[in-house]
Each structure stands twice: as C-alpha cells, then as structure tokens.
Amino acid sequence: MKLGLEGKVALVTGGSRGIGAAISLELARQGADVALTYRGQAEKAGQVATEIEAMGRRALALRADVSSFSETQATVDAVRAQLGGLHILVCNAGITWDGVVWKMTEEQWDSVIDTNLKGYFNYNRAVAPVFKDQRGGKIVNLSSINGIRGKFAQSNYSASKAGNIGLTKALARELGKFGVNVNCVAPGLVMTEMARKIPPAFLDVAIKETVLGRAAEPEEVAHVVAFLCSDYSRHITGEVIKVDGGQHI
C-alpha cells in the first residue's frame, strides 16, 4: 500500500538504529525525504542515510542531544533550511537505565526523564509553531506498553513513557484546530539489537505474554507509524495505538 508521502519532509529522532532506523527507511519508501538524529551512532546513521538516498530520496543525518532545548531548535531549523520544509515529526529517541526504585539514583531518574520525556517536549515544542502556521503536520510519539501498565524496575522509563502519552493527548487538543494530527504508538517487545541481548529466560517470559506468541520486528512498528504520518489517518488524533501482539490485553 502506497501512503503518498511524496513531497513531504520527515524528521525522526533516534533514527540510526532499531525502531528509529526502520521508521526512517519506511517513510522514505513511502516517498518522504528524511532527516534523522543520532547521538553516538554516526556510522549507523550514515548507513541509514545512504539507504534512503539509494531510494531516490534526500537524507540528512544530524548529531543532536534531544535533551538540549537549544540543540533541538537548531536541528529543526537545519532540517527546514536544508530540505526545504518540515511536515512530519517522529519522536523515537529513548534510553533505559533500570533499577528498583529504592536503589534508583537521581542520575538514573534524570537521565531517562531528560531523554525520553523532555526530549519529546523539546521536539514537539519546536515543530508546533511550524505546523500551526502551515496549518498541517503529523506528529507521532513513540511510547511503550510499559507506559500504560508499568514495569518492575523501570519506574523512570515507565514514567517517561506515560508522560509521552499525556503529552500526545494534550497537544492533540492544542493543535487539532490547525489541522495537526498528534498520535502515539506504544510497542511491546520488539526484536531490536537491544532486545536480542536480553537473557533468553527473560525474553521467553515476554514472548509468552503475547497472544501471537512472538515479538514484533521493527518494520511492523514502522508500518503503523508511516500510516499515522499519511493522509489515510487524517481523522485520527490523540490516540495511543499498541503494537504488541496482544502483550497488553
């Protein structure tokens, strides 16, 4: 199914690997030019950009700390200047730093919240006036089923992902009258490089939680994100769509 993203410019945070890379590539397949941010994966970001350009699309890989308000604005300005506009934002960059709450340090809490929640605010905030003035745009924020249900030893991560959902719903109300759609995708277990490092016993438990009996591939999340970035989803906003194989039923 072609989603008709030709002529659109997309910005994907954390687009150098895993779900972010899959999203960047899928948006390009659907016709968009894609800018992607990375923090410490310059080589992988370059590889993704090369793949995008091989599809005949323009690509831009930018090193950026999503937790920096000033860097965020500079990144958005650079994308608009170099690619000629901005129509789609996908916030995906995120980290984990697990620990039970009675042992969690302030650094563990602040680091995850600054990246996973403040980082989303920074980018949503930076594109909001652009989309508002052009009376159109698509924002997709990546949350997690653990932001809905909570997870043991992930109070920081679960809080940040729950915050993404609240942010999405509030901005859907604020930006709706300007023709801007703001939605959230909440994956369950996805077989990224990080997931493949999970001890087999823990991985097996997570897979058994799903009703489909398997983990998702990054591309399966990317397909849903791309749909939400298209005009096929123009009457969907403020929603949280789980992509979890029934892990959270």
Backbone torsion region of residue 113, taken as left when φ is above 0, otherwise alpha when ψ lies between -120 and 50, otherwise beta: alpha
**Alpha-carbon distance 143 to 163, whole Å?**
9
Respond yes or no: is residue 157 known to be catalytic.
yes
Within the chain, residue ranges assigned H as helices are: 18-29, 42-54, 69-83, 106-113, 119-134, 146-149, 155-175, 200-209, 218-228
Q: How far, in Å, CA of 22 to CA of 35, rounded?
A: 13
Q: Over the Cα atoms of the chain, what is R_g?
A: 17
Of the listed 38, 123, 157, 232, which one is catalytic? 157
DSSP 199-216: -HHHHHHHHHHSSSSSPB
Separation of alpha carbons 209 and 197, rounded Å: 19
CA–CA gap between residue 228 and residue 179 (Å, rounded): 14
Give catalytic residue positions.
157
